[in-house]
Amino acid sequence: MSLRWKIWLAVFGSVTLLFGVTGWILQRHAIDSATRSLEEEMRGRVRAYEAVWQARQEMLGTAALLMSSLPNVRAAFGTQDAATIRDSAAELQGMLAEGLREKSFFVVCDPRGVPIATIAGKAPAMATWPTVEAAVRQKSGFFVQGRAIYQLVLTPVMVDSARGPAMISLLVAGYPESERPEQLTGSEFVFSVAGETVERPGVRLDRPLPGLDGKPVGTLSIFRTPGPAEREIANLQRELIWMWAAAMGLSVVLSFFLARRIVEPIGALDRAATAIGEQRYAERLPVTSNDELGRLAATFNSMSESLEAARGELIRQERISTVGRMASGIVHDLRNPLAAIYGGAEMLIDSDNLAPAQTKRLAGNIYAASRRVLEMLQELLDAAKGKTGEFEVCRLREVVEAAVESQQVGEQIRFRVEIPEEWELPMDRARMERVFVNLVANAIEVMPEGGEVAVVARTEGKDVVVEVRDQGPGIAEEVRGRLFQPFTSFGKRNGLGLGLALSRQTVLEHGGDLTAANGPAGAVFSVRLHG
């Protein structure tokens, strides 16, 4: 996925999430506020209904106490005769309030709750009514008969006897609660008995109905049907949806232009950085603003200019260094043959009585050294023209013997060459000969008192390893790690410290390697060549 699409998705997703969360919070706040308002309204209506219950209970209780306190009525209740009781209580019906007279009922029962006579209203048919103990003055609560719910007040009628107060009858005063839902200003009141489930749409609030023993026998449920608050919430939801759709459209446009504003300069920076990686240091970025992206482009241009200048300086220094290395290599390689020429010529000049054989040998050494100088100069000329030396199959022993023969300086140094005659390897003969000349010359220089230089060859798999061993002091510990680095020299009177570095480079170009270690009697230099 490209950076442009990532930025677009990030902005689009952020705006979507922001508006979604904001809308959800607003909606939840509106719903919670409306719900709290409805619940408070419903609790107020429950309190109003409870006040009606309390007032009705007090009126029923007062009427029952009034009836049971009149002497003639108490005497009639003691007869246990239904007609007598009805006649004595008929005058009391006019004393009841208008609302109680229409729906309430009064039933006289014996102490066991068996009904004797109904003295007011229309009482439901009951075999027995709930009863109370004689010590209880009055008891009130709700009573369930089938699916009907009644509000009852039980009043015992007491008389004095030889054994103390005795209950002669029980006066049951009751009021039937509505069995059907009652609608009141958008609210629905539903009475239900215990265990019955009532479902209605809207907000619900339940009020348990306590029985005569205090335990719930039913429930008054109030359902608030949708009103103005719910309609306002629905309107808010629709408005939030439209706002969300508008925000989505705006976020699409905004994220597109924002992604374009950010990605295009970054894309240009990426292309310029790729050009720098391809060493095209002239690449520059247009600076079109003064913000972070503009300052980044200006900084990149400054970096490109610095890299271009540094690269030019590096090329110049590398050219100077190359000339220096070539000059050092030429000086080093020319030292040995020029020394041989100088030494031979000096002996010819200073010695008047040389034997013909000695003169011939000195002349041969001067000739061979002159020829090596010419070969080196030709190699330098070829290198300047871009030519490289050609490999040819050479006898390894002949190359080593030529190097050893050029270093025959006296009888103090003994040479031992152990290389089979038939071993042949592809190589640049002149350059490999100079490698062995350097190794043999170094071995001679570390043995000023004389000794043996041994050149021994062996095979390891397909490789040929030629070891040049001396009997000197060995390789010092302080130079062992940097022995093949340029300008490393230790314990030598003459030399620039380039011989081993140049020799190893030559062996590496032949596909092999040059290593060094301390042997039993001195240093051992190993030249590994591929057969």
- pLDDT for residue 403 is more than 60: yes
- What 3-state DSSP class applies to 142? strand
Question: Contact 478/490 with Cβ under 8 angstroms?
Answer: yes
Tokens of 132: 């109370």
- What 3-state DSSP class applies to 108? strand
In a domain, 332, yes or no: no
What's the CATH number where 62 sits?
A: 3.30.450.20
Query: pLDDT band for position 397 (50/70/90)?
Result: very high
In a domain, 404, yes or no: yes
- pLDDT at residue 359, rounded to an integer: 80
- pLDDT for residue 431 is more than 50: yes
| DSSP letter string, 34-94 | HHHHHHHHHHHHHHHHHHHHHHHHHHHHHHHHHHHHSHHHHHHHHHT-HHHHHHHHGGGGG
Domain identity same for 59 and 201: yes
- pLDDT at residue 417, rounded to an integer: 92
In a domain, 372, yes or no: no
User: Which of 373, 377, 343 lies closest to 358, judged by CA?
Assistant: 343
Domain identity same for 226 and 298: no
Listed in sequence order, the residues at least 6 apart from 374 whose beta carbon sits closer than 8 Å to its beta carbon are none
- Mean pLDDT (whole number) for 271-300: 77
User: Which of 101, 72, 71, 105 lies closest to 87, judged by CA?
Assistant: 72
- pLDDT at residue 180, rounded to an integer: 46
Domain identity same for 305 and 157: no
Q: Which one is predicted more confidently, 171 or 93?
A: 171
Query: pLDDT band for position 169 (50/70/90)?
Result: confident
In a domain, 315, yes or no: yes
- pLDDT at residue 240, rounded to an integer: 72
- Entry pTM: 0.41
- pLDDT for residue 25 is more than 60: yes
- pLDDT for residue 523 is more than 80: yes
In a domain, 340, yes or no: no
- pLDDT at residue 181, rounded to an integer: 44
User: Which of 324, 337, 328, 391 lies closest to 366, judged by CA?
Assistant: 337
**pLDDT 10s digits, 29-56:** 777 777 777 778 778 878 887 888 888 8
| DSSP letter string, 350-369 | H-SS--HHHHHHHHHHHHHH
Domain identity same for 212 and 310: no
Domain identity same for 521 and 417: yes
- pLDDT at residue 380, rounded to an integer: 62
**pLDDT 10s digits, 214-248:** 888 888 888 776 666 566 667 767 777 787 777 77
Q: Give the count of beta carbons closer than 10 Å to the beta carbon of residue 176.
A: 17
- pLDDT at residue 453, rounded to an integer: 92
User: Which of 150, 152, 158 lies closest to 139, judged by CA?
Assistant: 152
User: Which of 518, 495, 68, 515 lies closest to 528, judged by CA?
Assistant: 515
Domain identity same for 37 and 96: yes
Domain span holding position 305? 279-324
In a domain, 161, yes or no: yes
Domain identity same for 486 and 419: yes
What's the CATH number where 425 sits?
A: 3.30.565.10
Beta bridge partners of 468: 455, 525
- pLDDT for residue 96 is more than 70: no
Q: Which one is predicted more confidently, 179 or 80?
A: 80
Q: Which one is predicted more confidently, 375 or 483?
A: 483
Share of the chain above pLDDT 90, in %: 9
Would you give the distance in Å from CA 332 to the centre of its chain? 62
- pLDDT at residue 503, rounded to an integer: 85
- Mean pLDDT (whole number) for 114-131: 84
Average pLDDT, the chain: 77
- pLDDT for residue 310 is more than 90: no
Beta bridge partners of 143: 150
**pLDDT 10s digits, 465-521:** 999 999 988 888 888 777 777 766 665 555 556 678 888 888 998 889 999 999 888
- Mean pLDDT (whole number) for 79-102: 64
User: Which of 136, 152, 52 lies closest to 99, judged by CA?
Assistant: 52
Domain identity same for 137 and 216: yes
In a domain, 188, yes or no: yes
- Count of domains observed in the chain: 3
- pLDDT for residue 286 is more than 70: yes
Domain identity same for 227 and 300: no
Listed in sequence order, the residues at least 6 apart from 87 whose beta carbon sits closer than 8 Å to its beta carbon are 76
- pLDDT at residue 464, rounded to an integer: 93
Query: pLDDT band for position 11 (50/70/90)?
Result: low
Query: pLDDT band for position 182 (50/70/90)?
Result: very low
- pLDDT at residue 331, rounded to an integer: 67
User: Which of 301, 298, 373, 383 lies closest to 335, judged by CA?
Assistant: 373
Domain identity same for 78 and 134: yes
- pLDDT for residue 384 is more than 70: no
Which of 231, 246, 270 is a domain's end point?
A: 231
Domain identity same for 299 and 435: no
In a domain, 371, yes or no: no
Question: Contact 344/313 with Cβ under 8 angstroms?
Answer: no
Tokens of 8: 């677009």
Query: pLDDT band for position 353 (50/70/90)?
Result: confident
Which of 231, 262, 291 is a domain's end point?
A: 231
- pLDDT at residue 513, rounded to an integer: 92
Domain identity same for 524 and 401: yes
